[in-house]
Chains A and B, each alone.
Chain A
Amino acid sequence: MKLSFTAADEQFREEVADWLNDNLQGEFAKVRYRGGPGDEHHFVDERKAWERKLAEGRWTCIGWPEEWGGRAASIEQQVIFHEEYARAGGPGRMGHIGDTLTGPTLLAFGSEAQKAKYLPPIRNGEAFWSQGYSEPGAGSDLAAIRTRAVFDEATGQWQITGQKVWTSLAHESDYVFVLARIDRESKRHHGLGFFLVALDQPGVTIRPITQLTGTAEFNEVYFDDAVCSADDIVGAPGDGWKVAMGLLGFERGVSTLGQQMLFQTELDEIVRIAKGNGASRDPDIRQRIAEAHIGLRTMRYNSMRMLSGGEDGSLSREAMIYKLYWSSWHRNLGKLAMDVLGPEAELVEEGPYELNKLQSLFLFTRADTIYGGTNQIQRNLIAERALGMPKEPRGSAK
């Protein structure tokens, strides 16, 4: 058991830190600490340009094999990159879905043609992706999706019809990967396909949804005979579920330590305010700040265990609790921020409804326990997969 990094890793850390420091300057100075959940609508074009800057320095897709322009970075190096990125105030990554979800999925399940067509633009910061899983009738119960894909022999294309919802950043993206039903008679996770679909086409309509923060980061996406080519289905027709689940497995948690750096920044800000306004003398606030500190450190060592084990790709017990842990922690932090601010917490930055960072944090952390599998679904998964308890019975409603 060892907590420290090797000298070579530390050297890598320095290289990352130096590059970020040199480049988050000039036109990119203003994107520092911007973007990310709750702030995605800010500096979109500048953050896309930043992706191209990163690509120049070979800092996109560092976990990919060198053949596709990556660095084949070790887990440690990826952790270090994310830590330094967050420390330097690197903006929320516009490219992160392509980098961490689309890319690894294609590398594992894609054809050579798909890799050649889709990987380089992701790697070069030129193509941005979104995730089309959820539908109005299929949220937690993803296997209930109804979006249809039909192969048109005449045109040699797939035609997609249906509706996706909560599709984050679709309005700023070039592509969406879509889980759709190819066999009308099929049930649940059978008969699905995983499609790579361009968003800029007549068959696709994107409608941003306004959130409780007054901003719009996610969308409804309507497909009305939208098309993609015969080559744009990943894996065999009918294997969509396998690909979709494989994709979720790629999130091995390397970005989690970077995420924790951002959390630390938020907690530091709350501590700073508490010291300034006297809340730091309130015994309840003291307990909760200490608890928040313990929670953040717990997360760090939970994820270090998670990253140190499971070389075989199997999900360890630490990995299974990770989402439930951080989402609950972060939601509590949002409330702590409000309680430290007291009545001042109500006053918005600027009328009519420009929220400050902590207000956005408070409101948007309510989403953390919902997206990517709700806390209830996480608990079901932990109980069933880690503790071997019985699966939820299925209902017969509808």
Chain B
Amino acid sequence: MKFAFTDEQRMLRDTSQAFLAAESSSAAVRTASTSEQTYDPELWQKICEDMYWQGILVPESCDGLGLGWVELAIVLEAAGERLLTAPLFAVAQSTVALKLCPQTDIRDALLSAIVGGDVISLAMSDQRSGWSSCGVTANDRSNTTLLSGTARFVPFGAAASKFLVVAADASGSQSVWVIDAAQEGVVTEHTPTMDQTRAMATVSLENVAVSVDQLLADDAASLVDKTLALSRILVVADQVGVAQASLDISVDYTKERSQFDRTIASFQAIKHKAADMMLKAESARSLLYYAACIADAWFAGEADDAALEEAACMASACASEAAFFNAGSGIQMHGGVGITEEYDIQLYFKRARATESFLGRPAEMREALACQLLDGGAS
């Protein structure tokens, strides 16, 4: 039992933090997030060529690094800390979905393409009745299948060259397809969001003709469930970074600002708020790395579905609240400047809000756990 980073993991954390401190400064985040592309392609290229973060989960056989969830969590946590405005989450999520698809040449080629820097986003949900609600239908015609419908909240959809699309046939059976963003019948619309650091798009399909070599998985209900659970862990990593950074920049601010002839950091109400923020950030971090270990164990066949579901729900409920509490308390600790565009705490606040409802609110996570605990497992 050693629930601590290895030397290599510590090194990865340090280099990730140092890289993003230099490359994802407050000014850089503001420029990238308000640009037309919604991110900085040059920084993304640097990440892909110098840091290789897009390849962390990709097996070595597909040119990736073949590392695990703890490593990915480390990097995503650092990304949250610096409000990274790049499609890292989007490709990590697609990597997860691809890893859950049966091994085929097409699948492996897509994983290699991700390592090469292609942005591939997952178009999974229309959000009509929760995140597992599928808004795309698959209708068989003589020798092709036609995909029609909408997927919403597709991360960095406007930047994606390909989509992994989840579709349901008339019987409700789900399947996963890969389509080209430029394919006939596909319309991608960037949907401006309150949090500008995590761009979202709506992808509309109208009779998009797909052939069998675009089919990645059949009978995909369980694949979709698992992708959701695992994606939540990716979001949690970002939230832990947001929770930590909100605490750090707020405490720094209170040490500089004076009122009543003393720094505001010396007021007990401020100190106690900061202590509670640290408790929340550290607790969310513990559940993040627990969930990361469980994700690794689940892929290795050493943890069951219930354990994965439980870990993801717990971590998500805890980290969503930690990020929002810390960023919200952070604004209060800043006073008036916390309400200005100029200070960064508002950016964290918006990112905390956005991630809190993305893929499931804390109350939904707790209800899912309550089903496990109180209703004998049925969720």
Contacts and interface: CB of A to CB of B under 8 A. Distances in A.
A, B assembled together: yes
Interface of A: 1-6, 9, 76, 79, 271, 274-275, 280, 286-287, 289-291, 293-294, 297-298, 301-302, 304-305, 307-309, 317-318, 320-321, 324-325, 376, 378-380, 382-384, 386-390, 392-393
Interface string B294-310: 00010000000000000
Given A3-B1, A298-B287, A321 B279 contact: yes
A235 B189 CA distance: 74
A386 B278 contact: yes
B5 A1 contact: yes
Contact of A286 (B272, B274, B293, B367): B367
B3 A1 contact: yes
B334 to A, nearest CB: 15
B363 interface: yes
Interface of A is mostly: helix
Contacts of A307: 1, 3
B374 interface: yes
A308 B2 contact: yes
A382 B275 contact: yes
A135 B65 CA distance: 60
Given A1-B289, A389-B266, A393-B266, 7 more contacts: A294-B314, A317-B282, A320-B278, A379-B272, A380-B268, A382-B274, A386-B278
A287 B318 contact: no
Contacts of B283: 298, 302, 321, 325
B254 interface: yes
B286 A286 contact: no
Interface of B: 1-6, 9, 70, 247, 251, 254-255, 262-263, 265-266, 268, 270-272, 274-276, 278-279, 282-283, 286-287, 289-290, 292-293, 297, 314, 317-318, 363, 365-367, 369-370, 373-375
A280 B375 CA distance: 8
Contact of A287 (B275, B290, B366): B366
Interface SS, B side:
helix
A274 B374 contact: yes
B374 A280 contact: yes
Contacts of B286: 298, 301-302, 304-305, 318
A387 B1 contact: no
A328 B72 CA distance: 32
Contact of A294 (B251, B265, B369, B375): B369
20 contacts: A1-B3, A3-B3, A280-B370, A286-B367, A290-B369, A291-B317, A294-B317, A297-B314, A298-B283, A301-B286, A304-B1, A305-B289, A309-B4, A317-B282, A321-B279, A380-B271, A382-B279, A389-B266, A389-B270, A390-B265
A318 B282 contact: yes
B229 to A, nearest CB: 15
* Top 3 closest pairs, chain A to chain B, by CB: A383-B271, A290-B366, A379-B275
A305 B367 contact: no
Contacts of A379: 271-272, 275-276
A389 B254 contact: yes
A5 B1 contact: yes
B69 to A, nearest CB: 9
Contact of B370 (A289, A321, A383): A289
Given A5-B1, A286-B367, A383 B6 contact: no
A304 B266 contact: no
A378 B275 contact: yes
Contacts of B375: 280
B184 to A, nearest CB: 47
A367 to B, nearest CB: 20
Contact of B265 (A301, A317, A389): A389
B182 to A, nearest CB: 42
B1 A383 contact: no
B278 A321 contact: yes
A317 B278 contact: yes
A389 B271 contact: yes
